[in-house]
Amino acid sequence: MTFKQWFHRLGSPPHVYAFAERLTPWFAWSAALLIAYGAFAGLVLAPPDYQQGEDYRIIYVHAPTAWMSLMVYSTMAVAAAIGLIWRMKIAHAAAASCAPIGASFTLVALVTGSLWGQRMWGTYWEWDPRLTSELILFFLYLGYMGLRSAMDDMQRADRASAVLAVVGIVNVPIIHYSVTWWNSLHQAPSVMQLARPTMPASMLVPLLIMLLGFTLLFAALLLVRLRAEILTRERSASWIREAVSP
């Protein structure tokens, strides 16, 4: 298959639908396995931290979800940009599918971060730069989803939210920088030391496994949502009947 054919297939909803249907189980099962093993390794096998004892183990959920929340937003912005520039509807469908997944990851990151903070500092919330940036990212997701739902015309919703996603991704580093700057001015409580170069392998490996597992989970969820999006968008097309009949 030439590149041109492959590219055309990528933009064709029936092909993507079938492709997604075949791939989902692969991603889902490998995600399940990796997360199960990573959780076991992190919660049971890894040694307790000398500072935080057992409390640090929430990092095995918090760190991957925080990382994913940003990764999903970037994916969403890239897909939206592709849809905007090359007018590919499937790219817009992909961006729309990313948003609720990313928002959920962000919410989990916030909740686990809050719980972790409660153990570390005794309060359920502190305005540390990580949590604050994560909260603002959550608002960005909500804004994206809000703009989409406010528009009846699907095409306009796609394109307007695509502009918003691109503007958002440009702003994310700015927001992160300004929040870090703000936090450093006022002697705020200790920042969560997530990036520890001296993390021993027995702690680090489960973390990486969880990260990979969550990435695959995102892929699986994305494909499931994408199929649902395609069904909604193409509901009047003729190929749908064949595709969904048992």
What are the helix (H) ranges across the chain? Answer: 3-10, 13-40, 59-86, 89-121, 129-150, 154-185, 201-233, 239-244
Instruction: Pick the closer one to another protein by CB: 87 or 119.
Output: 87
Instruction: Pick the closer one to another protein by CB: 115 or 136.
Output: 136
- Nearest distance, CB of residue 226 and another protein, angstroms: 20
- Nearest distance, CB of residue 219 and another protein, angstroms: 27
- Nearest distance, CB of residue 125 and another protein, angstroms: 17
The DSSP letter of residue 123 is S
Which residues are paired to 53 by β-bridges?
49
- Nearest distance, CB of residue 146 and another protein, angstroms: 5
Helix (H, G, I), strand (E, B) or coil at 27: helix
Instruction: Pick the closer one to another protein by CB: 34 or 158.
Output: 158
> Is 16 in contact with 230 (CB distance < 8 Å)?
yes
User: Rounded to an integer, what distance in angstroms lies between the CA atom of residue 243 and that of residue 239?
Assistant: 6
Instruction: Pick the closer one to another protein by CB: 28 or 88.
Output: 88
Burial class (CB in 10 A: 0-12, 13-18, 19+), 128: buried
List interacting residues with another protein (CB under 8 A): 84, 87, 136, 139-140, 142-143, 146-147, 150-151, 153-156, 159-160, 163-164, 166-168, 170-171, 174-175, 177-179, 181-182, 185, 236
- Nearest distance, CB of residue 129 and another protein, angstroms: 11
Helix (H, G, I), strand (E, B) or coil at 49: strand
- Nearest distance, CB of residue 96 and another protein, angstroms: 15
Instruction: Pick the closer one to another protein by CB: 140 or 226.
Output: 140
Instruction: Pick the closer one to another protein by CB: 155 or 193.
Output: 155
Helix (H, G, I), strand (E, B) or coil at 53: strand
CA 153 vs CA 21, 102, 139, 142, 150: distances in Å = 27, 23, 23, 19, 9
